[in-house]
Structure 1
Amino acid sequence: MKNPLHYQFSEYDCGPTTMQNAISFLFEREEIPPEILRNIDKLAVSSKYLSGKSVYIGNESYVNDALKRGGVVVLRLYTDEWHYVLLTGIDGKNVRMFDPYYCDQEYEQKDIIRVLDQPTCCNRIVPWKYFNKMALNMYSLGPYDGREAVILFNEKTRLTEEETIEYFI
């Protein structure tokens, strides 16, 4: 059974909350030992840190690749200040995302969709076009020198490249 993802407790705990959400998304509730916050090495989890120009949304990016292969991405981006969110999936030109900052209103940007019925997966669907901007706009990654992401996989459910390669005839 999957746990619902959590919202942050304060204005400043988006980072740790998002890391906990990554574990909740990748593993079943029964697989998560009570000592998880102290001993992450008890889980079959692998990670990769990205920074700078390696952090972007696009067909050739590590981020897209990880999301297509069952991983998640803890991503630093800008809202009205620097913030951490969890990317949980990708399709077409949209990203499924869990933003730990609770919001009960629709966005000004009509193409950012609030998702209310998928508490174990996402609470936003955001078009790719928002992320790669250098300017500090809603959900933009901003300048290269401030970009960072952590890709995480459950090694028991990770899809290999061989299993996800698409062939074109």
Structure 2
Amino acid sequence: MLFLEGFMKSPLRYQITEYDCGTVTFINYITHLLDRSKIQPVLIKKIWEMSLDVNDEDKHIGVGGTSTQAISDICDWINKNNSKLNLHLRCETYKNSQVTTQNIQKVISDDGVLCFRIKDLWNVEHYVMISNIDDKYIYIFDPYYFSVKENKNPNVHVFNQNQFGYNITIDREYFESNADTYTICSANNIVATAIYKTKGE
């Protein structure tokens, strides 16, 4: 598990609209992995340019949030430009049957984090960051701010005061179940994107 190194990392962020969970989650896992001095402005600019790509039926820009294809395209751009732009990152994507707690454990063991698409407490498809896993819990940072009192799920534990690493823990047994929200199977299109610091960073 990665821990805060000195005071060089920034706090993780919450959404500023109802729709930018994908954008903010991608920025959060870069923030979680890299010190501020290592984060290239071109990368943050590119994430904002490529995300919020889904319009609603009335063609309002971004109201449909960020597609899994856009997340994949951002990852491809990072992998293609990592050396040239000194991004210090690499990505890989897991889909459907590849998305298992065993593979999540492997990513975390390799000091990576995951951008994971789930259904949230309101049964809406939503991106969160998985930052750790152990025998009891999955540790996530959910960029959608809500009060502890709004959570009625006894298997989901909210810690709004924590802005480094995670703000929710999910009982691992529940996460691996077929329940409707905050589980590995809750999204219709199961996709998890792993991101790592490149070697030597």
Partner of 1:162: none
Question: 1-side partners of 2:176 and 2:134: how far apart?
Answer: 16
The structure 1 residue matched to 2:166, chosen from 122, 130, 134, is 122
- Indicate yes or no: 2:123 matched with 1:67: no
Alignment partner, residue 6 of structure 1: 13
Matched, 1:23 2:67: no
Structure 2 length-normalised TM: 0.69
Map of 1:49 onto structure 2: 93
**Residue 161 of structure 1 corresponds to which residue in structure 2?**
none
Are residues 38 and 91 of structure 1, via their aligned partners in 2, closer, same or farther at CA, if it must alter by over 3 Å? same
Q: How many residues align?
A: 154
Which sections of structure 2, spanning at least 5 residues, go unmatched? 1-7, 47-77
1:108 alignment counterpart: 152
Distance 1:144 1:75, change over 3 A: closer
Going by fraction, where is helix more abundant, 1 or 2? 2
Cα shift at 1:132: 2.8
Q: Residues 53 and 105 (structure 1 numbering): CA distance in 2 closer, same or farther, change over 3 Å? A: same
- The one-letter code sitting in structure 2 at the alignment partner of 1:23 is I
Report Cα offsets for 1:36-72 as digits up to 9, x if no partner.
Answer: 2246533121111011111122xxx211111122110
Q: 1:144 to 1:82 in 2, by over 3 A?
A: closer
Q: Which runs of 5+ in 1 are unaligned?
A: 159-169
Alpha-carbon deviation of 1:112? 2.0
Offset of residue 155 of structure 1: 1.7
Task: Report deviation, 1:157.
Answer: 6.4
Show the 5 A alignment for 1:129-144: 129-135=173-179, 137-142=180-185
Q: Give runs of ≥4 in structure 1 deviating > 6 Å.
A: none
Offset of residue 31 of structure 1: 1.2
| CA distance in structure 1 between the partners assigned to 2:125 and 2:141 by the alignment | 15
Which of these residues, 125, 128, 137, is aligned with residue 82 of structure 1? 125
Residue 122 and residue 143 in structure 1: after superposition, are their counterparts in 2 closer, same or farther (change >3 A)?
closer
- TM-score, normalization by structure 1: 0.81
The whole-number CA distance in structure 2 between the counterparts of 1:65 and 1:43 is 23
SS of the counterpart of 1:152?
A: strand
CA distance in 1, matches of 2:16, 2:100: 28
Over the aligned positions, Cα root-mean-square deviation in angstroms equals 2.1
User: Secondary structure of the equivalent of 1:87?
Assistant: strand
1:98: how far off? 0.1
Q: Is the 8 A contact 1:134 1:144 kept in 2?
A: no
Letter in 2 for 1:47: C
The verdict on how the C-alpha distance between 1:77 and 1:144 changes in structure 2, with shifts beyond 3 A counting, is closer
Distance 1:143 1:10, change over 3 A: closer
C-alpha distance in 1, partners of 2:185/2:110?
26
- SS of the aligned residue for 1:70 comes to coil
